Amino acid sequence: MIHLFNGFQNQFGGSERETLELYRLLGADSRVCLWATSSRVSEGLMQEFPIRRVSPATRNVPDGGTYVFLGAHWRNKMWPYLIPRPRRLIYVFNTFHPKLIALTTRRPRLLRWPAAELVLISEFQRRVLQVEGVVHASPIDIGRFSPRRARPNGPFTVGRLSRDTADKHHRDDVALYEALLGDGTAVRIQGGTPLKDKLAPHPQLELLPQGEFAAEQFLPTLDVFYYRTGSHVETFGRVVFEAMACGLPVVCHSHGGYVDHIRHGENGFLFETTQQAARILADLKADPGLRSTVGRKARLTVEQMFSSQALQERLDFYRR
């Protein structure tokens, strides 16, 4: 039995989506159970998926086997002492906070759980943290995302997708968006409500709330996917790879878990400064052939990353 633990607080959150995709994949030929470690679990997720709250008082607890914690931890909680001991303990670490590694890997003696096996989600994350562990790309069902068909006539559109939090947006991007709009480019941002008091209304500007459209519906409405965050640093960047799965050229800041998979000028673009980003976007606007060539190679990249063989190797790690 494999038990997957997550807070399940945000139905659009990356760790929640990662957990649910791992549940789908492992559930094809293994017994898998979903557990919420937070009392603030999303009711929408509870209704859509068979998520159970850990509750020793009602004997609603995992019964041993393999315990996998994704974006959640068990330290400083009472219930781990009241449930059966796991055969294996796996911690999927998807942040940059080394204190959380210590919380999970240094076990109280009374708990008597096995040593935690650490899974990281990018080589970039491993380099930054300088810790040991296996690296598994966060699983994505790329079958949901089809290479984008030629869009009907309309303005060249640059956009992005994220959660509605201020730290997902870089302060310098406001000026970049204003310059794009002034040059006739449409800007479409889902998860863009934190920018509503920073960008003046414009007929070619759309700031949509998170979850307005599913990613596979929203991304094909763009010509180019642009991504840079503020204080938040992406350990992996699922949405970048979802955009690549749609055959979009991606233009991303060169600091995040996606950087090791983007070959600048070949299957995407990386930039350091706003001026570099503006030049890349201008080149892509002027050259539809470049957009098409880079987009095709972007799609091939994710097909290799999430091939059946690659996924099987990652799933075997949890099943063994």
Neighbours of 296 (CB within 10 A): 14
pLDDT given for residue 11 in this prediction: 84
- Give the residue among 81, 89, 85 at the shortest CA–CA distance from 5: 89
The whole-number pLDDT of residue 152 equals: 65
Can you give the residue ranges of every domain in the chain? Answer: 2-139, 143-305
**What pLDDT sits at residue 151?**
67
Residue spans of the chain under pLDDT 50: none
pLDDT value at position 299? 97
pLDDT at 6: 93
pLDDT per residue as tens digits for the range 190-225: 999 999 999 999 999 999 999 999 999 999 999 999
What's residue 291's pLDDT?
96
Question: Do the Cβ atoms of 204 and 186 come closer than 8 Å?
Answer: yes
269-271, strands of its sheet edge to edge: 205-208, 186-190, 157-161, 224-227, 250-253, 269-271
Q: What is the pLDDT of residue 166?
A: 94
Instruction: State the pLDDT at residue 240.
Output: 97
SS in 3 state form for 36-74?
Answer: ECCCCCCHHHHHHCCEEECEHHHCECCCCCEEEEECCCC
- Considering only CA atoms, which of 286, 277, 223 is closest in space to residue 254? 277
Cα 91 from Cα 172, distance rounded (Å): 35
**Which architecture does CATH list for 143-305?**
3-Layer(aba) Sandwich (3.40)
pTM for the whole thing? 0.88
Q: How far apart are the first and last CA of the chain?
A: 11
Which two structure tokens, joined as six digits, stand for 178?
């204003």
* pLDDT of res. 4: 97
Query: Using CA atoms, how far apart are residues 196 and 14, in angstroms rounded to an integer?
Result: 23
